[in-house]
Structure 1
């Protein structure tokens, strides 16, 4: 189910990204509007995991007229906080009992190192290059979704 939803969302995101120059954007500044958008983004990121990133970018492009690089950075913060909240909830309810803590620590450390490396790369490339990377990654994500659907649902 999650893979199917993510596939559709990423496909829509890809279509929007390829046509975003033709779509007029908003510049939401209303506190309630920002809070509602943040709530929806947080929930979708928690449901879709890291796959929520493409949704975040499109929403940040469209509703806040953010340039690509700033939207990517903001998306990472949204994912960080929504996943941190989800992790705390899992730990509090005992839902993380089967998690290999060594693997978790290694993954977290590598994620932090990847963040530093990504920040260096981000500072050296322009928005067009980021857009091309984003499009390529969306194609990869869609491929993974199709693979997961075939593997787990017998589609």
Structure 2
């Protein structure tokens, strides 16, 4: 089983690095579908994998001199996302306690994620027709980041498609620029969320070997994703992203049915 999970983490991190979606949006629903662990453990392992991948990708881009991060915009976004990440984690804990069966919380996550991914797909297919904004205000950036971090942490996906749509619409970013900005934001939000989980006992029951393996696969996926991203254009990234969203929606529907026992 560990080899299967390692393959999932590597594939998700590679795609995540290419598209700027982190990888959690793949890891979380796929591992939910296999049902090998509790929802809370999957959330933590997914988050740690995303954290390792984004950390590698952001540092590597900076050292290689090909970083497109604009710190005046991206840092307030990232700080807001970090605060939102902690809030989102707490929100999921509150929702999970509302149900006697933890699987119900998983069904809620899957349902919300399905709606988010569907909205993302619709926007991506029509983004050329939608007038965009160009937010530059620091407080505005921080507020947008706060909402991003909260929603991503609640869904246990570490960022993903939500980031890209927001960056396209509010900041008029081209695809590859948005991908780098998204990874930078995810790095901050996921770091805060992971620290909060550890501090509150959210890492209890996590297999350390599994954690190390998935984190290493996250780094390897970040390396592979950077290589592929440098060889394709924005159009190819958009096509890959659209195809991925369709697959994820199918997995979300499967997970909802499974968790609800239908």
What TM-score, normalized to structure 2? 0.57
Q: Distance in 2 between matches of 1:63 and 1:70?
A: 13
Mapped contact 1:6–1:51 kept (Cα < 8 A): no
Shift of 1:55: 0.7
Shift of 1:94: 1.7
Q: Distance in 2 between matches of 1:89 and 1:24?
A: 38
Aligned counterpart, 2:251: 144
Q: How many residues align?
A: 155
Shift of 1:78: 2.0
Mapped contact 2:158–2:189 kept (Cα < 8 A): no
Q: Which whole-Å deviations, capped at 9, do the CAs of 1:24-78 have from their partners, x for residues lacking one?
A: 1111001111000011111111112227311110000000111111112222222
Structure 1 SS opposite 2:158: helix
Over 6 Å off, 4+ runs:
none
Shift of 1:3: 0.6
Mapped contact 2:158–2:186 kept (Cα < 8 A): no
| Shift in CA distance, 148/51, structure 1 to aligned 2, threshold 3 Å | farther
Q: Distance in 2 between matches of 1:78 and 1:153?
A: 33
Matches within 5 A, 1:102-117: 102-117=209-224
Shift of 1:91: 1.1
Which residue of 136, 148, 157 corresponds with 1:50? 157
Q: Distance in 2 between matches of 1:71 and 1:85?
A: 21
Structure 2 SS opposite 1:112: helix
List alignment gaps of at least 5 residues for structure 2.
1-107
88-97 or 12-21: bigger deviation: 88-97
Mapped contact 1:16–1:58 kept (Cα < 8 A): yes
Q: CA RMSD in A?
A: 1.2
Shift of 1:79: 2.1
What TM-score, normalized to structure 1? 0.95
Which residue of 222, 227, 246 corresponds with 1:120? 227
